[in-house]
A = this chain, B = another copy of it.
Amino acid sequence: MPRKSRAGSDRPTLADVAREAGVSAITVSRAIRSPGIVSQKARAKVEEAVRKLGYTPDPAASALASRSTSTIGLLVPSLTNNVFSDVLRGVYDGAQDTRFFIQIGNYRYSALEEEGLIRAFLSQRPAGMIVSSRDQTDAARALLEQASCPIVQIMETSDDAVDMCVGFDQLASVRAGAEHLRACGYRRLGFLSARMDPRARRRLEAFRDAASAAGLHDEARIVTTPLPSSVGLGRQLLEQLLDRAPDTDAVMCNNDDLAVGALMEARARNIDVPRELGICSYNDIEMARQMVPSLSAVATPRREIGSRAIAMLLAEIESPGSVSERRVDLGFAMMARGSTSPR
């Protein structure tokens, strides 16, 4: 049966708008996408027709014809983790008022799930991708390398980025924390860490190195677990640490949840922080700063990472090759507060 308006979709199409405006479909398309290249008159007629019919473009048709979408994929290992909610915020704020949509994929700290998501996202021909790890499977890495859209890897700076990267030196940041504790005069340093994903593992390594270099390494004071991080877990880990090595005088925590938990456990045991026990947190989410005593912390630029990543991506989408600084180090800061003090 020849062309005839199908039942079901009463939604106006580009052709309907064209008819209404008395121009061709392609003129409507141009008037919408690049108003600058059509005449004033045509544009006005199109705008009027669009308004009158309540026309909204069909993104699927657009994607099919143009072979590109307005989707930006964002892959994160966790949605509960406060770290990533800050990154998310930076990304979403940066994408606000652009034609782009953020689509989040949560791979739950599984490299295999991540690979599946990368595959699925790329099949949509995204305008760009932001990925949170540099620990992809080989297949995932290959997919990213073959991708035809710009890609930003976030959280770490690395020399072997697929395309662009923005983050900070994770190892140096942990060393700064250890050094802070040492400089305060603490000598029996513990380390608490949950969920040993590759990044957490590298940070633990960095702590070992730093402690060793200072002659303060004691493996008995390193307490880790594969469980996901939480405040309650921080309490448990400190308990374990103190069972094993009661004379520990300071503890570095691999994230804020654990540090808050450690602080609470210390309080429950009437251990004086910072006098009897120094606590240094990692990431520095707002809550950590508001504890009593306020937690000293290695502050990481999570939100900035998100906003910088999306900015780089948008610039690169706009004009490929325009981003000259393709490897951005946003640094970190050691915030000395009440939970540690010179002794």
Contact = CB atoms under 8 A, between A and B. Distances in A.
A104 interface: yes
Contact of A286 (B58, B88, B148, B230): B230
Interface string A227-265: 000111011000000000000000000000100110010
A60 B56 contact: no
A293 B82 CA distance: 23
Interface in A3-36: 3-9
A64 B58 contact: yes
A202 interface: no
Interface string A118-138: 011011110000000000000
Contact of A88 (B79, B148, B289, B316): B79
Contacts of A321: 1-3
Contact of A67 (B9, B123, B264): B9
A287 B123 contact: no
A330 to B, nearest CB: 20
Interface residues of A, number: 61
A230 to B, nearest CB: 5
A267 interface: yes
A232 B290 contact: yes
A232 B86 CA distance: 17
Contacts of A268: 292
Given A2-B321, A289-B232, A320-B3, A123 B59 contact: yes
A197 interface: no
Contacts of A104: 102-104
A80 interface: yes
A21 B33 CA distance: 40
A61 interface: yes
A315 interface: no
A69 interface: yes
* Residue of A67, A122, A150, A289 contacting most chain B CB atoms (<10 Å): A67
A15 to B, nearest CB: 15
A109 interface: no
A58 B67 CA distance: 10
A88 B88 CA distance: 13
A44 interface: no
A74 to B, nearest CB: 10
B123 A58 contact: yes
Given A60-B61, A92-B106, 17 more contacts: A1-B326, A3-B163, A4-B148, A7-B148, A9-B67, A56-B119, A57-B123, A61-B64, A79-B89, A85-B85, A101-B103, A231-B287, A232-B286, A232-B289, A232-B290, A260-B287, A267-B292
